[in-house]
Amino acid sequence: MSRHLAPLALAIAMTATACAPRYVDADYAVAQPSGPYRLASGDRLRIIVFGQDNLSNIYAVDGAGRISMPLIDTIDAQGHTTQQLEKAIEGRLRRGYLREPKVSVEVDTYRPFFVLGEVTSSGQFPYVNGMTVQTAVAIAGGFTPRGQRSSAEVTRQVDGQLVTATVPITYAVQPGDTIVIKERWF
């Protein structure tokens, strides 16, 4: 390779690796995210504006991480907690629509998780609180005869970056996780 092409090859390699998920030790990945649940695309929210039945409804967080409500148009939900979104909605409603709005936001349906690899029926499934990799595999129809039964790869977004780790099947699943069951070696 010539001297002139070496920097180009390095730049291409760096760009390709910047998009790929980062692999980490299980010790790092086993640590659950601290703090309250953060909203993201795919979540469905039950929003109640007390005394305003026409504003109270179930709203979906769209692909851009926003919800659309009457009177206040769109509002960012991506990365916010339900309490932060409550305050943001109250603030918007206070600006010329309601005197003292009281808003409650709760997650009606969490975004789905995904199971791939050596399971009977891979795909997208609705998240249930308290789920582990093992229960996620059961929802996906169980392991195939070749499926690795002691561990799985889980990919999740942590601090805005995709992180992948090999974890035990008792590992807690989060909404939006992608679980890959590898083939076992006999």
pLDDT tens digits along 131-164:
999 999 999 999 999 999 999 999 988 777 888 9
Please give the mean pLDDT across all residues of the chain: 84
Domain boundaries, the chain: 22-34+111-181, 44-109
The confidence score (pLDDT) of residue 25 equals 53
CATH 3.40.50.2300 assigned to domain 22-34+111-181? The reply is: no
Unique residue bearing structure tokens 């942590």:
158
In CATH, what class is 44-109? alpha beta
Per-residue pLDDT band at 32 (split at 50, 70, 90) = low
The confidence score (pLDDT) of residue 34 equals 59
**60-69, 141-150, 161-170: segment of lowest average pLDDT:** 161-170
Query: Any idea what DSSP says for residue 185?
Result: P
3-state SS, residue 164: strand
Global pTM?
0.75
* 127: nearest Cα among 106, 107, 140, 110: 110
The confidence score (pLDDT) of residue 36 equals 83
